[in-house]
Structure 1
Amino acid sequence: MSLDVQGTFVSQKINKVRWIPDEYVETKCFFTGSWDDDVNSVKVWSFESLDDEEVEYPKCLSEFPVEGDVTEIKFTDKNRIAVSTSDGNVRLLEISTYERSAPLKEVFKWEKLHRYGEDPCCCTAVATMETDIASVGEDGVINYLNGHRGDVMRTIEGADSCSLHSVCFIKYHEIISGNLRGHMKIWDLRSSDNKPTASFLLAGDELAATCILSHPTQPHIILAGSESGSLAIWDLRMNSFPTSLLSAHAASVTEMQFHPVNPLKLISCSVSGEIWEWNMEAMIKSTKGADSQVATWMPLEDKNTMVVNSLMPTLHKPINSVNCDRGRILCGADNEAVYIIKNFKY
C-alpha cells in the first residue's frame, strides 16, 4: 500500500507531538504541545471517525494550559510526561490509563529551573531515563530531577558559557548536552565535579546542536542534528570527531526518531518543511562482533550513498516534531496543522 498522508488544521502552532503508547493495539491517542499562542497548552487528542466515514480525524479530549511555549514532551513512563516550557519550568503530567478524556493531572512542577538572576529564561529541552529527568536551558545550566519524589537531585551551574539546546541520556547517570556553538559534552551526574567527562565538536562550523539521539540498540552510537540541516554520527568509543557527517536537510533539523520496531529506520524533520526516512543500513559495516552486534559504523570516506525517502510533500513552514508508532507517523508544524502518515513500511 502506498503512503497515505492526512493533515488536520488544529488552530495552534505545534511544537511537539507524541503518540500515547498502547500495549496491545495501534494507539489512536496522542499529545500535542503548542507555542507562539496567547495561551499555550498540552492537549490530548484521539483519532475518531465521523458518521460511518472511514477517514479518522483528531478530536481534542482534554487541554492543560501552560505559561510560555511548550519546548519538549518526554515520557517518564507510559502514563506520565515531562513537559518543559519557555518560562524555565518543567512539569510532570499524568494521564488516566482508562479514561483518556479525563483532565491531565499535574504531579510535580519545578519552577524557575532556568533563570537569569530573578528573571526566568527558556528551558530548551528535557531528556528522560525512566523517572529521572534532565533539563537544560538558555542559562547554560543542567538540572537533574527525580520524577518519583519531585526533588532536584543535582544542579550543574555554568555547565556551559552559552545557551544549551539539546540533551540526551546515554545511560543511567550519564547525559550528553549540545550547545549553541555545536559543542557536545558528556556529564556523569554522580560526579561531584562540575566538569564534563568528555567534550567534542559537532562539526567545524559553529552551528547549534538542535537535537541529540542515542541509538536504541547501540547506546555508544550518538546522532546529532545541526542548525545547518546536517546529521552527525559519533561512536563514543572514539569520540573526538564524528564517524560520519551527512549533508541532509536544507535547514535546521528539528527532531529525529528511530523507528521503535526497526532501528535501521530513522525519521527526521526540519525547519525547511521536510520529513524524511533514512535507511541506516548503508551506514553499517557487515562485520559482526563476538556478541553478534554490529562492530563499527562506516567512517566518512567509506560511506555508500544513503537511501533517503521523503514521506510527504515539502511544507512551506517548519515541521517541528515527529513521532512513530508501528506503521503510522505523526508530525506537527508551524502551519497550525497535525499530519498523520499511514501505511509506513517498517
Structure 2
Amino acid sequence: MPLDVQGTFVSQKINKIRWIAEDYVETKCFFTGSWDDDVNSVKVWTLESPHEEEEIEYPRQLSEYPVEGDVTQIKFTEKNKIAVSLSNGDVKVLEVSVYDKQSPLREIFHWKKMHNYGEQKCSCTSLDTLEGDIATIGEDGNVHILSGRRGEIMRTISGADSCSLHSICFIKHSEVITGNLRGHMKIWDLRSTENKPAASFLLAGDELAATCIINHPTQPHIVLAGSESGSLAVWDLRMNTFPTSLVNAHTAGVSEMQFHPENPHMLLTCSVSGELWDWNMEAMTKSSKDQNNQVTWMPLEDKKSMMVNSVIPPLSKAINTLHCDKGRILCGADNEAIYLVKNFKY
C-alpha cells in the first residue's frame, strides 16, 4: 500500500506529540503539547470518528489541560501517566483515564519552579523518564532526579553545567547523559555523592548545541545525539572521547529522534528545516571487532551505505516532534498542523 500522509490544521504550534499505547488494539489516541501561544495546553486527541461510516481518520480533540508557559517535553512515566516539562521551570505528572480518554487529565504531582535563578524563573528545557523516574534539566544548568511514583526529589546535581542544558537521556537507572548549549556532553553517575561528571566529551568541534539525545534500544552503550547544525553523532560509550560516526544530515537542527519500536535498525528524525526522514541504520550497526576483540560500531567511512528516505515532502516550517507506532507516524509542526503518516513500511 502506498504511503498515506494527511495533515490537519489545529491552530496551535505543536512542540510535542505522543501516541497513547493500547494493549490489544491499534491505538487511536494521542497527546499534544503546544508552545508560543497565549495559553498553551496538553491535549488528548482521537482519530476515531463519531460517525462509523467515515473512513478518513482526522484528529478530534477530546480534552484540554491548560498550562503556564510552553510545553518543552512530554515523556511517559507509566502507561497512562506523562511527565511534562514547562518553560516556566515547572514539571508536572498528569494522568489520562485508561477507560475514558474524554475525561480531563488529572494532575498527580506538580514540582513548582524546579529550575530557577533564585527568585527568577527559568525554563525546564527537557526531561527523560525510565521506569517511573524522571530526570529534568534547565537553563540554570542543574539536573534533578524525581520519583514519578512518590513525588519526591531524589537527587539534585547543582551547577551540572555552566550554561543552559538542552538534552538529557537515561543510559541506565544510575546514569544519565546531558548535552549543553555548546555541545559538551557529560555522563553523570547518580550513585556518586560528588557533583562531578563520570565522563565528558564533545559533540563535534564547532560548539553547537546538542538538541536531542537517545540511546539504542538493543545496545544501550550506543548513544546518538542530534545537533543544532542538523548533524547526527554516534558514540560507543565504552570508548567515549570522539563520536564513532558523525553524519551531516538535515540542513538545520535535529528536533527529535526515535528508533522504531519494532525495528531497532530504523531511525526516524525530524528537523527545524521541516524534514521528516527515516534512516536504515543497519550499515552503521554492523558489528566489527577492535584490537581487544570488543564488538564496536562500524565507523562510517562509506557514507553511500546509509539509506535515508524522506517520509513526507519538506514543510516550510519546523517539524518539532514525531512519534511512531508500528506503521503510523505522527508529527507536529510550527505551521500549526498535525500530520499522520499511515502504511509506513518498517
Q: How far apart, CA to CA, are the structure 1 residues paired with 2:33 and 2:181?
A: 23
Distance apart, 1:295 and its partner CA: 2.9
Aligned: 1:77 with 2:78:
yes
CA contact (8 A) 1:273 1:316 kept: yes
Distance apart, 1:65 and its partner CA: 0.4
Which residue of 1 is the match for residue 39 of structure 2? Answer: 39
Partners of 1:295 and 1:343 in 2: CA distance: 35
2:301 is matched with 301
Per-residue deviation at 1:304?
A: 4.5
User: Given the two structures, how large is their TM-score scaled by the length of structure 2?
Assistant: 0.97
Distance 2:265 2:299 in 1: 17
Q: Distance in 2 between matches of 1:113 and 1:3?
A: 43
Q: Is residue 186–residue 197 contact of structure 1 (8 Å, CA) maintained in 2?
A: yes
Matches within 5 A, 1:183-198: 183-198=184-199
Q: What corresponds to 1:323 in structure 2?
A: 323
| Partner AA of 1:33 in structure 2 | G
User: How do 1:98-137 residues align onto structure 2 when only pairs under 5 Å count?
Assistant: 98-137=99-138
What CA distance in whole angstroms lies between the structure 1 residues aligned with 2:337 and 2:281? 29
Aligned to 2:146: 145
Query: Does the CA contact (< 8 Å) of 1:283 and 1:304 recur in 2?
Result: no
Q: Which stretches in structure 2 are left out of the alignment for 5+ residues?
A: none
Q: Aligned with 2:48: secondary structure? A: strand
**CA distance in 2 between partners of 1:298 and 1:160 (Å):** 31
RMSD: 1.4
For residues 225-267 of structure 1, the C-alpha deviation after alignment (integer angstroms, 9 at most, x for no partner) is 0000000000000000000000000100000000000010100
What is the Cα deviation at residue 285 of structure 1?
A: 2.5
Unpaired runs of 5+ in structure 1? none
Which one is further off, 209-218 or 280-289? 280-289
SS at match of 2:283: helix
The answer on whether the counterparts of 2:287 and 2:298 sit within 8 Å (CA) in structure 1 is: no
Distance of 2:188 and 2:285 partners within structure 1: 27
SS at the partner of 2:47? strand
Q: Distance in 2 between matches of 1:46 and 1:285?
A: 39
* CA distance in structure 1 between the partners assigned to 2:58 and 2:174 by the alignment: 41
Structural mapping, 1:278-297, within 5 Å:
278-286=279-287, 295-297=295-297
CA deviation profile, 1:34-53 (whole Å, cap 9, x unmatched): 00001000000000236422
Could you say which residue in structure 1 is the equivalent of 2:91? Answer: 90
Distance in 2 between the 1:244 and 1:59 partners? 42
Distance 2:289 2:4 in 1: 37
The answer to whether the 8 Å contact 2:137/2:144 transfers is: yes
Shift of 1:300: 3.3
Whether the aligned pair in 1 keeps the contact of 2:288 and 2:297 (CA below 8 Å) is no
User: Would you say the 8 A contact 2:265–2:285 is kept in 1?
Assistant: no
SS in 2 for 1:300: coil
Aligned twin of 2:273: 272
Q: Secondary structure at the match of 1:283?
A: helix
Contact 2:160 2:196 in 1 (8 A): yes
Q: What's the offset of the Cα at 1:282?
A: 1.3
Tell me the amino acid that sits aligned with residue 339 of structure 2: Y
CA distance in 2, matches of 1:116, 1:305: 47
Partner Cα separation in structure 2 for residue 81 and residue 338 of structure 1: 20
Q: Is the 1:13–1:336 contact (alpha carbons within 8 Å) kept by the matching residues of 2?
A: yes
- Which letter maps to 2:206? D
Question: In 2, are the aligned partners of 1:282 and 1:304 still within 8 Å (CA)?
Answer: no
- Classify the secondary structure of the residue corresponding to 1:102: coil
Query: d(CA) in 2 for partners of 1:127 and 1:37?
Result: 24
Q: Per-residue displacement from partner, 1:93-125 (whole Å, max 9, x unpaired)? A: 011111111110000000101111201100000
The separation in 1 between residues aligned to 2:220 and 2:287, in whole angstroms, is: 19
| Count of aligned positions | 342
Q: 1:38, 1:344 → 2: CA distance? A: 35
User: Partner residue of 1:15?
Assistant: 15
Could you list the per-position Cα deviations for residues 154-213 of structure 1 after superposition, in whole angstroms to 9, with x for gaps in the alignment?
A: 111110000000000000121000000000000011110000000000000000000000
Question: Does the Cα contact within 8 Å between 1:222 and 1:233 map onto a contact in 2?
Answer: yes
Shift in alpha-carbon separation, 1:101–1:230, aligned structure 2, 3 A: same
Asked if the contact 1:283–1:303 (Cα under 8 Å) also holds between the matched residues in 2, the reply is no
Q: Give the letter aligned to residue 206 of structure 1.
A: E
- Match of 2:251, SS state, is coil
What TM-score do you get using the length of structure 1 for normalisation? Answer: 0.97
